[in-house]
Amino acid sequence: MTETTSPKIVEPTIFDLSSPGRTGVTFPASDVPEAGLPPKGLLRSDLPLPELAEVDVVRHYMHLSKFNYSVDSGFYPLGSCTMKYNPKINEDTCRLPGFLHTHPLQPIETVQGNLALMYTLQEWLKEISGFAAVTLQPAAGAHGEFTGVLIMRAYHKSRGDTKRVKMLIPDSAHGTNPASSGMIGLNIVTIPSDERGNVDLKVLKEQCDDTVVGIMVTNPNTLGMFDENIEQVIKMVHDCGGLVYGDGANLNALLGIVRPGDLGIDVMHFNLHKTFAVPHGGGGPGSGPVGVAAHLADFLPEPLVGIVEEENDEEPPLFGFIKPEKSIGRMKSFHGHFGGGLVRSFTYIAMHGPDGLKDIAQYAVLNANYLLARLRDTYHVPYDRICMHEFVAEGQFAGSDVRALDIAKRLMDYNFHPPTNYFPLIVHEALMIEPTETENKDTLDAFADALIKIADEAKTSPELLHSAPHITPFGRMDEVKAARELVLCCWLPENYDENA
Amino acid sequence: MNTPANLKYTKSDEWFDPATGKMGLTDYAQNQLSDIVFLEILVEVGDAVEPGKAIASVESVKASAETYAAAKGNVTAVNSALSDKPETLNSDPYGDGWMIQIEGGDFGDAMDAAAYEEYCAGRTH
């Protein structure tokens, strides 16, 4: 196997492929009066727009698309991201003309189907999670966190309880938790994990006082562990007057088994793009609805979808928009990611039904435990007990300079997407593996076999790992250069001033 | 792992030189973080710092972390050259990689080199 970091297949940029005069579109003769151009100072002549025929454009992007790895092309065990297979029927429904060709500012009488879908999805998410009310507005998970924490702050403020400035966050939390609270101006207090991966109750107790806004818990946490003391954690925070935020990123492990609202969690975001099969990666579209318990329902963002006229003998109910009494305001223009997120997730939930949703959680947990059982003798697992939908192993071996990154890159040579690495931070050289419920035993075995083989290679030929990947169009990327030199442009205008 | 005997160390991996009043990030920490790509010093000359107060924010290709003051005192100098060359934290953590200098310099219960080495050894599995 040759070791190289130079690309094996080179696809020129679309600018390199451009040739003056080539064109993909012929404009018809203008059927409106000619208008003058804007003043000269507003026009730029240095824009290097590529000129190509349609066939050249199609081939260029087809070539690029083949460099991609996706959940449609192979196993994608990206811990904390729930990269499950997304059923293709979701693509059919979100392209139904009635959904596709609507505008968010249409009169409600003309979009009753859309509103009925949103209302029903709100009701289903309430039933799944045990919350009293749900907003579909937030654009993604972290946006949902931000919304939820604003609601928590508004709740305390409405009671005249203005001393509360402290958000408690376990050290295994997603980085978005402290970021969301920090953006709202709260002080972050980190709560360590105990030796079993649970929230350390002793430290929590010391921190629980009348300045606590709340705690942000992820359960199961990012170690893939169900917090064995979750009810105690919730009670301790409630007893000091704080609220409990649930990070719903790992809801896939609980569907149909445990409802966060029943546990006493006050507010939680859903990641529709994880749990409910909306394609994700590459920046979106996500969807992060937020559910709240009854005492927080009045604070939800406006507008919610509701019934504005009850049904009667002749007419079905009229769906429309309602404003919660003490609403924190709007969190997003229009109504959330309707087609991208809401229609797909509605379809997914409808296709599964209650029993199907329960199967999802059970198979996700079974698959993760199967992989854990196959790998724990080869890779050290620091928090080793029955896991939920994912687990975290160490990508390092005694006496070897092979690190988690090398193992992750080498997996690409076996045609697997690498797991999440270096997260959570409390595990050295973390490899965070989440198989999801959609993979069969053959795939899981092939993946486990590859990781076991790589562990062997780490001993016999570590250089193979250090220089991986070998079979991809591009070899090992220079991550340090990428992080230090933040230049994404392939061209810069001639008069570009980098100090501007 | 390099742990000079003349320095004091914290559990959150900072070093402090009682002779000069300089402080920074330990060799163990830079090795754990791997290639450091960003540094922002959060305090200015004249500020008062004490153990537990964040003095810098550090990012590597793996993670981001806060660096805390290793001793109590007033800031007399800040290594402003460091943010343009954060890789210095990897190559010379105890030399050119110093972050701030303080006067006063009460380092409380900071560890000596032997205790810090033992502490780090207990953290790797």
Query: What is the Cα–Cα distance from A260 to A271, expressed in whole angstroms?
Result: 14
- Tell whether the model's pLDDT for residue A264 goes beyond 90: yes
User: A459 exposed, middle or buried (CB, 10 Å; 0-12, 13-18, 19+)?
Assistant: exposed
Domain containing B61 — which CATH number?
2.40.50.100
According to DSSP, the β-strands at A212-218 and A243-248 are parallel
Count of pairs with CB atoms under 8 A, one residue in A, one in B: 24
Which residues, in sequence order, are bridge partners of residue B15? B9, B24
Whether residues A425 and B35 touch (CB distance < 8 A) is answered with no
- Tell whether the model's pLDDT for residue A490 goes beyond 80: no
Q: What DSSP string runs through A90-133?
A: HHHHHT-HHHHT--TTS-GGG-HHHHHHHHHHHHHHHHHHT-SE
- Tell whether the model's pLDDT for residue A159 goes beyond 50: yes
By the CB < 8 Å criterion, does B125 face chain A?
yes
Instruction: Give domain limits for chain A.
Output: 89-350
**Residue B124 falls inside a structural domain:** no
Q: What share of chain A is helix, strand, coil (3-state, %, to 5)?
A: 40, 10, 50
ipTM over 0.85: no
Whether residues A483 and B125 touch (CB distance < 8 A) is answered with no
Q: Each residue of A389-405: pLDDT tens digit?
A: 999 999 999 999 999 99
Query: What is the Cα–Cα distance from B56 to B24, expressed in whole angstroms?
Result: 9
A220: distance to nearest CA of chain B, Å? 22
**Residue B3 falls inside a structural domain:** no
Residue type, A449: D
pLDDT band at residue A46 under the 50/70/90 scheme: confident
**Residue B19 falls inside a structural domain:** yes
Residues of A in contact with B87 (CB under 8 A): 480, 484
Number of domains, chain B: 1
- Tell whether the model's pLDDT for residue B101 goes beyond 60: yes
Closest alpha carbon to B105 in B43, B19, B34, B44: B19
Query: What is the Cα–Cα distance from A159 to A167, expressed in whole angstroms?
Result: 18
Q: Residue B27: which domain range?
A: 8-119
Bond prior to A303 in cis (omega within 30° of 0): yes
- How many CB atoms within 10 Å of residue A354? 13
Cβ atoms of A87 and A313 within 8 Å: the answer is no
Whether residues B62 and A380 touch (CB distance < 8 A) is answered with no
DSSP 8-state class, residue A251: G
**Residue B125 falls inside a structural domain:** no
CATH placement of domain A89-350: 3.40.640.10
Q: Each residue of A294-348: pLDDT tens digit?
A: 999 999 999 999 999 999 999 999 999 999 999 999 999 999 999 889 999 999 9
Q: How many helices (H) and strands (E) does chain A have?
A: 16, 12
Q: Each residue of A58-92: pLDDT tens digit?
A: 999 999 998 889 999 999 999 999 999 999 999 99
Q: Each residue of A249-258: pLDDT tens digit?
A: 999 999 999 9
B71: distance to nearest CA of chain A, Å? 21
**Residue B2 falls inside a structural domain:** no
